[in-house]
A and B are shown apart, each in its own frame.
Chain A
Amino acid sequence: MALVVDPVTSETLYAGTTEGVFRSKDGGTTWKPLAPWELSRRDRKSITLLVAHPAIPHRLYALAEDGGAFEIQLDD
């Protein structure tokens, strides 16, 4: 499992899990899928690392165990 705190908005967490990437906007109390994790079920099962861009707000990077490196720019 990977866990990272949003560098812009405290209380916002991202978690990489066996079911994809989730976001919490209330300090980890409730979670929602961050965005449709469009990889196949085989690939999305393992997120090994989440990194927030240090300068660009709401930009996130994920490494998947089965090979890929991915980025996403969130609206908010």
Chain B
Amino acid sequence: MLGATAPVAAGPNHWTLFGPPAGGLYPSMLVGRTLFATAGGLFRSTDDGGSWTYVGHSPEGMVVSALAEPGEQPGALIGLTRTGRLVHSMDSGASWTALGGPPAFVDRLALVPTAPTTLLASAIDILWGSTDLGAHWTQLVRAPSTIRAITIGPGKPAAVFLSLDRGLLRSDNGGHTWTVLAARLKGGGRLVDVDYLVGSDQTGTLYAEAVLDFGAGLVKSEDGGWSWAVVSERVFGPVLADPLNPSVLYTGGIYSDGQNGFWISRNGGNSWTKRPTTPPDFFGSDEIRTAFFSPHAHALYVGTRSHGIAESRDGGKSWTAGAQAGLFSGVWTALQFRPGAPQEVFLALDGLHDSLYSSTDSGLTWAPLGQPDPYWGISALGLDPADPKLIYAGSPVRGVWRSVDGGVTWEHSLDLLSRPLSFAFPEPGAVLVGMDYGVYRSADRGKTWTMVLAGNPDGSPFFFESHLVPDPAQPRTVYAWTDDGDSSLLQIWKSEDAGLTWRELPEHAGTLAIDPRQPATLYAVEAGSGQRGGAVVRTTDSGET
């Protein structure tokens, strides 16, 4: 049984964390011989990543999203919460107290290693500095655009770099004065946008993922950021410079000829070789958030978005991910209340293991259920209202799984290379699943399936996404809103015969919601909206006009 991550009683008008300590993986770090990772909470490993212990949360119940070790005090940690506040711990993360901070929500935190009581904190475009571990703060600089990252450069004394939305700044005196680094590239072109910056301690070389005025790729500087050269235009994602061999670089999420994966370069980034991973190609749907080297374990670690920490003990030749016991990681994808028993709630995440949790006390305590797919997490969840033991789970890449014993054991129900997004239960025994490429229906509790809505009849490509919205008053009526992938073609469909047949409604909109008190009233976001900000439209006659 797992405790909740936060005070369970939601504060009035105040967002609090909900669920077990899982979800998300944030910067990990090595402090002495202890590894820390934040994944819905703070985790600690004292056996080189073999097993992990949940340590706790910062005050406010929010996870710590960045850590820094302030020098001589053993067990002391400075953290940045996801609320943008600074906290500190004197007992290796077991307990936390609020630390004074600048008068703004902090986005990024860094410690100057050569002056371990000096903190740097950024808030939008302002960099703040404290020389007394957060007791007092001074505004150091207002950058010309938003600060994306604070990087302590290689070498001693270390320069401080600010990666901006547009450009790069360098300071050689702890942040008191700054120089705008030239954006020109050797051989022509300009460095427009720096997404991250990493340095090699051995050579002093800086690497950055950058948007160029003629594309994007990996760039490097061998003179402290004053001039840059393109290393590869086929490399995207954070790069780790091997601390023992400066010509060796690692990265994940490269999009080279359509191939993702974990890659190694042995010549400073000029050419790359894909390395095997366990499970195979798991980096292909993931991204690396952080990377570090443990000299004690002689191991390389990378923290991923959805699959926890991957480890290599052979210099990056092979990688194993998600094998770390006790570390819960992933992205929450589904939250469902048991129909008719709302004190029972389920949470699912896209993670390698422990992807499904249930609580029977409205979220006070949580217990993990069985894992449907051994390699992938959960993209959607469906609780059959007629049978409390019958649960459906969508795999992000492998169709539908089914459990007939309340989530303890699972079997593959619909084996398709498609991602379920939502379920609906239009009549006893029948289930619908909205997937990436259409809507499927089963009339026998998920034993067999038939595609019932499959894109446009003229043969144009299938939907990219199809979401189901059941009518709470008339279960045989189900709506589906579909998206071609970039919101250029949004459609709403309606079935009044439990999902057997569908017809398109006139409104070209997406993100559909139904009024549970007046189910004839539907709301939808107009086409051409989403991130571009479309209007909400309403119908009061079940979508007919």
In the complex, whether A41 has a CB less than 8 A from a CB of chain B is: yes
Q: Which chain B residues border A53 with CB–CB below 8 Å? A: 337, 342
Q: A residues 17-69 with Cβ under 8 Å of B?
A: 18, 24, 27-28, 35, 37-43, 48-49, 51, 53-56, 59, 61-69
| A residues in contact with B529, CB < 8 Å | 1
Contact B335 A1 (CB under 8 A): no
Evaluate contact between A72 and B10: CB separation under 8 angstroms: yes
Contact code string B503-518 (vs A, CB < 8 Å = 1, else 0)? 0000000011111111
* Contact in complex: B518, A10 (CB < 8 Å): yes
- Inside 8 A of A27's CB, which chain B residues have their CB? 523, 536, 538
Which residues of B have CB within 8 Å of A7? 516-517
CB-defined contacts of B514 to chain A, threshold 8 Å: 5
Contact across chains for A38 and B84 when beta carbons are under 8 A apart: yes
Smallest CB separation, A70 vs chain B (Å): 5
Q: What A residues does B84 contact at CB under 8 A? A: 38-41
Contact status A5-B515, CB under 8 Å: yes
* Whole-angstrom CA separation of A13 from B363 in the bound complex: 24
**Shortest CB distance A44–B (Å):** 9
Interface centre among B15, B84, B515, B517, by most chain A C-beta atoms within 10 angstroms, is B15
**Is the C-beta of B17 less than 8 angstroms from some C-beta in chain A?**
yes
* Chain A: interface size category: 35 or more
Residues of A within 8 A of B228 (CB): none
Contact flag A67-B26 (CB < 8 Å), given A4-B513, A13-B513, A55-B342: yes
Contact in complex: B333, A63 (CB < 8 Å): yes
Q: Does B531 contact A (CB under 8 A)?
A: yes
Distance to closest chain B CB from A19 (angstroms): 9
Q: Check B124–A41 contact: CB distance below 8 A.
A: yes
- Whether A65 and B331, one on each chain, are in contact in the complex, defined by CB atoms closer than 8 angstroms, is yes
Residues of B within 8 A of A37 (CB): 15
B107 close to A42 (CB less than 8 A): yes
Closest Cβ of chain B to A3, distance in Å, is 4
Q: Which residue of A lies closest to B515 (CB)?
A: A5
Given known A1-B529, A10-B521, contact A69–B335 (CB-CB < 8 A):
yes
Count CB-based A-B contacts (< 8 Å). 143
How many chain-B residues does the 8 Å CB contact rule pick out?
Answer: 55
How many Å lie between the Cα of A42 and that of B15 in the bound state?
Answer: 16
From B517, which residue of chain A is reached at the shortest CB distance? A10
Report whether A40 and B82 are in contact in the complex, using a CB–CB cutoff of 8 Å.
yes
Query: Is there an interface contact between B333 and A24, defined as CB atoms closer than 8 Å?
Result: no
B396 at the interface (CB under 8 A from A): no
A67 and B332 within 8 A (CB)? yes
* From A3, A5, A55, contact of B511 by CB (8 A): A3
**With A and B bound together, what is the CA distance between A72 and B17 in angstroms?**
9
Tell me the nearest residue of chain B to A66, going by C-beta: B24
- Asked if B1 is an interface residue, CB under 8 A from chain A, the answer is no
A67 to B65, CA, bound (A): 11
Chain A residues, CB < 8 A from B83: 38-40
CA distance A49 to B517 in the complex (A): 21
Residues in B with CB closer than 8 Å to A68 are 17, 23-24, 40, 63, 82, 332
Which of A48, A49, A59 is B10 in contact with, Cβ under 8 Å? A59
Contact A67 B24 (CB under 8 A): yes
| Interface assignment of B11: CB less than 8 Å from any CB of chain A | yes
CB within 8 A of B342: which of A35, A54, A66?
A54
Whether, in the assembled complex, B105 has its beta carbon less than 8 Å from a beta carbon of chain A, the answer is: yes
B residues within 8 A CB of A28? 523, 535-538
Contact of A49 among B24, B25, B335, B521 (CB under 8 A): B335
Query: Cβ of B337 and Cβ of A54 under 8 Å apart?
Result: yes
A31 to B342, CA, bound (A): 29
Q: How far is the CA of A24 from the CA of B335 in the complex (A)?
A: 23
Q: Contact at A3–B513, with CB atoms within 8 Å?
A: yes
Give the CA-CA distance A65 to B24 in the complex, in Å. Answer: 8
Provide the bound-state CA to CA distance between A72 and B82, in Å: 16
**Is the CB–CB distance between A66 and B331 below 8 Å?**
yes
The answer on a CB contact under 8 Å between B513 and A69 is no
Q: Is the CB of B15 within 8 A of A3?
A: no
Residues on B with beta carbons closer than 8 Å to the beta carbon of A65: 331
Interface centre among B13, B105, B332, B363 (most CB of A within 10 A): B332
Query: What distance in Å separates the Cβ of B122 from its nearest Cβ neighbour in chain A?
Result: 11
CA distance A2 to B107 in the complex (A): 25
28 pairs, CB–CB < 8 Å, chain A vs chain B: A1-B529, A3-B511, A5-B514, A10-B517, A10-B518, A35-B15, A37-B15, A39-B82, A39-B84, A40-B65, A40-B105, A41-B84, A43-B65, A48-B333, A49-B334, A51-B335, A51-B336, A61-B335, A66-B24, A68-B332, A69-B332, A70-B16, A71-B10, A72-B10, A72-B11, A73-B14, A74-B12, A75-B12
CB within 8 Å of B: which residues of A? 1-5, 7-8, 10, 13, 15, 18, 24, 27-28, 35, 37-43, 48-49, 51, 53-56, 59, 61-75
Rank and list the top 5 A-B pairs by shortest CB-CB distance, nearest first: A67-B24, A28-B536, A73-B10, A69-B19, A71-B18
